[in-house]
């Protein structure tokens, strides 16, 4: 049986093909070879185009646009406001479905007219923090808006580098067309350029959604022995802030390529954390220590690099 494929689209693990059987003049929308538009559909419903939005599959036919929300098991016509036939092309952009018609221009409709679903929208998709000194931080806000017609349930917001780009881990409900404002914080722990992602887990069809965040860490010029040049001596500076709760930053410099060890001990001399244990090139470094799972008290940090060794005290106050 001779068939011509007019459109292809992937939804999940399925490949959908819009096809036309020249022999029987029957339209067929197939997935893995199985007819979904069967003999009940006549010649007029030839599929010219396919588009996917999440789990929603749109088919552009000779008599309009059809939608399946159950992986092609059933289809419903969604032609509100559509006057031109046939449909030649389909496209999805943001929360809209666009259809290019044969002689009557472009038809556009919000996907929420056909599907009950939350749609997350951000006031920004990229956040570029300005240059920030180690030991300092800068904040900005991100606004989440629910552009859908169902409640947006944000289950969690996670950072790909939580030590540097911190976010509020939360669970929140946002009604349709309502907004929520969250704060993002950039607190660099090294002299370098950062590029990470913030992931938003929710009940949207596109979850997890993401925001790109970036920033540059600078030398903390207020710290002893830290200049814009390569250091001439080994040094270990006092952590900042001190006392702290629950995180602090430890600064050190090494003048030569060295194997560096930086460890934290409690007041009984027991090792509680290893911040550095590797070969480092000459330069200025900072390492952030988060003691959120430890009790208040006096702790010690020891730097060993080459023949250099020094220990300092830090205080955790909760």
Both 72 and 52 in one domain: the answer is yes
What integer is the mean pLDDT of 40-58? 70
Both 15 and 93 in one domain: the answer is yes
Domain hosting residue 30, numbered range: 3-113
Tell me the longest C-alpha to C-alpha distance in the chain.
86
- Give the domain CATH number at 278: 2.60.40.1930
Best mean pLDDT range from 5-14, 151-160, 214-223: 151-160
What integer is the mean pLDDT of 256-277? 94
* Confidence at residue 45, expressed as pLDDT on a 0 to 100 scale: 57
Residue 9 predicted with pLDDT over 80: no
Q: Is residue 240 part of a domain?
A: yes
DSSP for 204-225, written as a single string = STTPSEEEEEEEEEE--TTSTT
* Confidence at residue 31, expressed as pLDDT on a 0 to 100 scale: 47
- Give the domain CATH number at 147: 2.60.40.10
* Confidence at residue 25, expressed as pLDDT on a 0 to 100 scale: 36
Q: Is residue 257 part of a domain?
A: yes
Both 88 and 139 in one domain: the answer is no
* Confidence at residue 5, expressed as pLDDT on a 0 to 100 scale: 59
* Confidence at residue 104, expressed as pLDDT on a 0 to 100 scale: 80
Both 160 and 132 in one domain: the answer is yes
Cα 23 to Cα 19: distance, rounded to the nearest angstrom: 12
Tell me how far CA of residue 193 lies from CA of 47, 97, 128, 217, in angstroms.
49, 39, 11, 6
Both 210 and 183 in one domain: the answer is yes
Final residue before a domain boundary, out of 218, 245, 260: 218
Q: Could you tell me which of 69, 175, 71 has the C-alpha nearest to residue 114?
A: 69
Number of structural domains in the chain = 3
Both 53 and 139 in one domain: the answer is no
Q: Is residue 204 part of a domain?
A: yes
- Give the domain CATH number at 64: 2.120.10.30
Q: Is residue 226 part of a domain?
A: no
Both 105 and 132 in one domain: the answer is no
Q: Is residue 100 part of a domain?
A: yes
Q: Are 35 and 46 in contact (CB under 8 A)?
A: no
Q: Is residue 224 part of a domain?
A: no
Q: Is residue 228 part of a domain?
A: no
Global pTM? 0.50
* Confidence at residue 294, expressed as pLDDT on a 0 to 100 scale: 95
Both 84 and 134 in one domain: the answer is no
Considering Cα of 127, then 247, then 252, then 307, what sign does the dihedral take?
negative
Both 132 and 203 in one domain: the answer is yes
* Confidence at residue 73, expressed as pLDDT on a 0 to 100 scale: 74
Report the range of poorest mean pLDDT among 15-19, 59-63, 126-130, 308-312.
15-19
Tell me how far CA of residue 292 lies from CA of 43, 151, 248, 315, in angstroms.
67, 34, 11, 13
Residue 300 predicted with pLDDT over 90: yes
Torsion from C-alpha of 103, 75, 49, 20, nearest 10 degrees: -100
Q: Is residue 227 part of a domain?
A: no
| Confidence class for position 165, pLDDT limits 50, 70, 90 | very high
Both 250 and 211 in one domain: the answer is no
Both 167 and 182 in one domain: the answer is yes
Q: Could you tell me which of 185, 164, 171 has the C-alpha nearest to residue 290?
A: 164
Both 11 and 109 in one domain: the answer is yes
- Each residue's pLDDT tens digit, 95-128: 788 988 877 888 888 887 777 788 899 999 999 9
Final residue before a domain boundary, out of 113, 130, 163: 113
* Confidence at residue 148, expressed as pLDDT on a 0 to 100 scale: 83
């Amino acid at each position: 049986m001779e068939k011509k494929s007019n459109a292809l689209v992937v939804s999940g693990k399925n490949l959908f093909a819009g096809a036309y059987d020249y022999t029987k003049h029957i339209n067929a929308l197939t997935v893995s070879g199985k007819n979904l538009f069967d003999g009940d559909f006549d010649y007029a419903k030839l599929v010219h185009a396919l588009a996917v939005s999440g789990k929603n599959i749109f088919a552009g036919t000779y008599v309009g646009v059809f939608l399946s929300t159950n992986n092609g098991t059933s289809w419903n016509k969604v032609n509100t406001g559509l006057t031109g036939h046939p449909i030649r092309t389909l496209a999805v952009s943001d929360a809209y479905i666009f259809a290019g018609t044969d002689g009557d221009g472009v038809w556009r409709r919000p996907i929420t007219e056909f599907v009950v679903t939350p749609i997350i929208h951000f006031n920004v998709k990229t956040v570029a923090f300005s240059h920030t000194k180690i030991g300092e931080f800068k904040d900005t806000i991100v606004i989440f808006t629910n552009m859908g017609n169902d409640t947006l349930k944000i289950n969690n917001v996670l950072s790909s580098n939580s030590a540097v780009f911190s976010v509020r881990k939360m669970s929140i409900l946002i009604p349709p067309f309502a907004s929520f404002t969250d704060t993002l914080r950039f607190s660099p722990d090294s002299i370098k350029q950062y590029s990470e992602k913030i992931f938003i887990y929710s009940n949207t069809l596109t979850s997890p959604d993401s925001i790109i965040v970036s920033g540059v860490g600078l030398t903390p010029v207020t710290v002893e022995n830290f200049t814009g040049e390569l250091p001439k001596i080994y040094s270990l500076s006092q952590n900042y802030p001190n006392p702290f709760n629950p995180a602090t930053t430890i600064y050190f410099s090494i003048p030569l390529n060295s194997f560096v060890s930086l460890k934290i001990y409690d007041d009984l001399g027991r090792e509680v954390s290893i911040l550095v244990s590797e070969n480092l090139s000459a330069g200025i470094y900072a390492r952030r220590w988060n003691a959120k799972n430890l009790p208040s008290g006096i702790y010690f940090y020891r730097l060993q690099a080459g023949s250099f060794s020094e220990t300092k005290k830090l205080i955790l106050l909760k």
